[in-house]
A and B are shown apart, each in its own frame.
Chain A
């Protein structure tokens, strides 16, 4: 990895800073393969306590997204990557709000809703 700092920042993806590029992709590939295989194994196996399966799948997916960001897109915490990291953090924030916000609101609405047969009885 280069220690040179470009004041103008540097963009994600392959660039002047990507030394040992091939190695980075191969490390990323092996992480991704292991995590993908683990995800499918978790979904197939009966060895894991069933309520824990979605949590484990979520952890494996987040780990794999992280591996892709670091080894394929070459996102790092270097000083000259502040712009990329800030944009990414905002993106993750909006994604989290959208997904978890929708899920919480919709499950509450569902919970508060009158059961369909009861509703039909009243309307009759």
Chain B
């Protein structure tokens, strides 16, 4: 975004209809915000399925038998701190401070990777106890919901790797920083979905 465009948008005397379209930064982020909301609506359908089916264990293990809340607490902290380091990374990107941005985003990546690792180990532990997704309606909906969230986080990690490569080869061009800001939105939205997951799925199982 160059200086003249900025000053035109800021000029108080110019009516809205004379200002032209919003900057690409605003348009891209708003479009991505709409995508995120539609993604959250998709998660809502899975939450609804889980809420309806969570009691249908077909004589198998229930959530209270399977879940380890301490494990989930560590997962939650990983995702929360990665959200904050991602935010610090976004601020560094805004200052175009490449070194600091790289360090914060690397920390974000590592915390996200730890989260995915913990989740995968939990899934393997459940399957080895005979509680795989085909065991009961409860477990089908559990793996669907939590697995989709985990898949989103994994996709986010891949996206972050691509962004490392783009920043390295292209630098902080407007196109690249827009994508990085969209990644930041994506990462925060995943953390919001996780709040729903740990409340409804993990803590809700102990009623």
Give residues in A with beta carbon < 8 Å to B. Answer: 4, 6-15, 18, 21-22, 24-26, 28-29, 32-33, 36, 39-40, 42-44, 50, 53-54, 57-58, 60-61, 64-65, 68-69, 72-73, 83-84, 87-88, 90-91, 94-95, 98-99, 101-103, 106-107
Contacts and interface: CB of A to CB of B under 8 A. Distances in A.
Nearest to B39: A91
A102 B199 contact: no
A87 B91 contact: no
Contact of A95 (B23, B26, B40, B83): B40
Interface string B145-173: 00000000000000000000000000000
A7 B84 contact: no
A36 B203 contact: no
A12 B187 CA distance: 13
B206 to A, nearest CB: 6
Contacts of A73: 185, 188-189
B76 A11 contact: no
Contacts, number: 147
A117 to B, nearest CB: 15
B87 A58 contact: no
B87 A14 contact: yes
A37 B83 CA distance: 17
B40 A12 contact: no
Chain B, interface SS category: helix
B48 A99 contact: yes
Interface string B39-81: 0110011011101100000000000000001000100110011
A84 B9 contact: no
A68 B188 contact: yes
Given A9-B30, A15-B25, A72-B87, A99 B47 contact: yes
B192 interface: yes
Nearest to B89: A14
Interface of B: 9-10, 16, 19, 21-23, 25-26, 28-30, 33-34, 37-38, 40-41, 44-45, 47-49, 51-52, 69, 73, 76-77, 80-81, 83-84, 87-88, 90-91, 94, 181, 184-185, 188-189, 191-192, 195-196, 198-200, 203-204, 206-207
B199 A72 contact: no
B23 A8 contact: yes
Contact of B44 (A40, A54, A69, A98): A98
Nearest to B51: A103
A6 B76 CA distance: 36
Given A8-B9, A8-B22, A25-B84, A72 B191 contact: yes
Given A9-B30, A14-B87, A25-B84, A69 B37 contact: no
A13 B44 CA distance: 22
Nearest to A61: B199
Contacts of B83: 68, 72
